Structure 1
Amino acid sequence: MRSRTRFECWPLRAEPRPRPACWSDRIPDTEVHNAAGPANHWFYLVAEGTNPGGGKPSSPVCAGGPDSVTGLGIRTAGRIWMTALMQKTSFWKYADARVATLNAVTQLYPGDCARFDTVKAAWDAVSVPAQSAEPGRPGDCGQSAPSFSLNVAPTAVETLPGGTATSTVTTRTTSGDPQNVTLTASGLPDGARAVFDPPSVETGGSSVLTVSTADDTPAGTHRITVTGTGTDGSRSAALALTVRQTTPDTCTGHEETRTGSLRAGSAAYQPEGGYYRTSVTGTHRACLQAPDSADFDLSLLKWNGRSWQVVAEATAPGTMLTHTGPAGYYRYRIQARAGGGDYNFGYDTP
């Protein structure tokens, strides 16, 4: 008798996974699959570009990158990436991948200025900086048009009313000759003032931005746009300025605590914009303390395999949210219905 082999199809369970699309200095500490986000973004830009059309999704560049990238097609992108992987060594970093792909395009397409420029622009578009070991533009391509990038670090700062906060604006030449860039800031809250030191830089240089607030500057998180204007146009980067209010009472006695600030109509997800996983059935407990003048809601959400579903809510800050539920992925949503200001949040997991 011939034996039969039984095959069973197991359902795939979708799990929430935040994948950053832009490189930052936090990528080396990010879970390996999530850390592949900038590489996936780079490949799509090389293959399809920023606005491929034909029903394909657009893929905007990261802060400080070029205005746009024109794709080369998936076959060309695949050849370049696979050739680059032949140079891969242990402990490869994004800087190594950038150098390897630029070496690959010069090997596969000698003297092809357009392909070289696209691969380079795609790395700039995902915020992987230029490396000293990368090859230069093919000699017979001539001098490329001047271009530059602009970034701010840190991207989020905070202060009390009447105080100051600082961030460093960094520029670099991405092609052509260096150029002079004049720096400005917009979107400042009432009573705030921005000063750059120096107010203009040659690309490759940096400037310190100091934001000074007044005693009556409204509390909350404000988006400031930092703009650098050079000979080939402007580049912008966002800076989140949080003006703190009087600190509410702290939720104490919990395994995890967090603090933050919200303006009316905005929301935040905890922990740290992500989620947590529990492998057992048990009780989730959380506490939210917010200013008395504000109306904050606290919700516990569970991932059902397709979307986040609210499983418990508390609409009176200062009271405890308690929910008993099965194993799975969870996160908290803190929402400012009216008013705004600082909050303290604590929670326990099963």
Structure 2
Amino acid sequence: MEQSDSNLAKEKPADVPNTEGMSLGQSGARYNQWLGKLREAGILKAERLLPEMRVPVPTALPSLMGRGAAREGLVQEIKALQPWGYSIQLAPGVLTGGAEALERTVYRSHLISGAIREGLRLCGRTPQGATAVDFACNHGYFSLLAAELGFDAVRGFDLREVNLRKARLLADQFDLASATFEQRDVYTYEGQADVVLNLGLLYHVTDPVRLMELSFAATSTFCIVDTITYKSPVSAFILRTNKDQSHHAEGAYNAELHPTYRALIDLMHAAGFVDLMEVVPEARPDRACHPLYDKSDRRCLIGFRPGAVVERLPG
């Protein structure tokens, strides 16, 4: 005899999180509890569905952070623009954050710069003579990372003027005039660059399809997409609500759609990218660590436009 739904609910194991009667505002905690139980059971593992682009991610500071010199008033300027959200060395011993946060910035610096170099190599290009655009550039650090690689011009956009003030401080401190910054909504961009940086943006929007289509239209070679992802083995987006829009690193809405790993892949293919690779660190003794990437809770993918790649890709 079949059990009724009510009987099934009563027989639910005690360690399964209760989701009955919880408010929408508690949805994030509820979902995280559920994911935790799946991890404990060993049934929520990271999938690897793409060929890998392995790049060096050492613990050494990126060369960009060695460009700045100490000067009077620098510490006060940094404090006046807090919070930064990232730890960046602007001069020896002068940081925008703590040591642990600096390790995470070092990791991402090498991962992204390595992806840019290798992506250009696969396309038969170099930074010299190339252009880049950095969507939602925040404090402009990755725009400047590209500028230091030798790009002729890098344009960074962000919603918030307070973030652009940080970006201009970094540009002055690192003496990189090839990167410029302006306040604008990414959806108003109609130009094209050789390389598009879509870093830490996808999980802050409510229209991921439109954003990825824009990313495809805006690049002549490839786009790097770095984002939070979920391990659920389905192509889907997780709704997160009650976001604080006043925070310097948040998006324009109080709700966000976070992609699963499979959704990210499907989304990039649907937008027009034909060749995808996942950017991962080389195995080496001095490899830097980052908890989100190391647990595959954050992934970095590179998507190439049709015809952009001149060298055969693995996989």
Ranked by relative contact order (alpha carbons within 8 Å, sequence separation 6 or more), the top structure is 2
TM-score normalised by the chain length of structure 2 = 0.23
Kindly name which structure, 1 or 2, has the bigger radius of gyration based on alpha carbons.
1
Q: Which structure carries more strand by proportion? A: 1
TM-score normalised by the chain length of structure 1 = 0.21
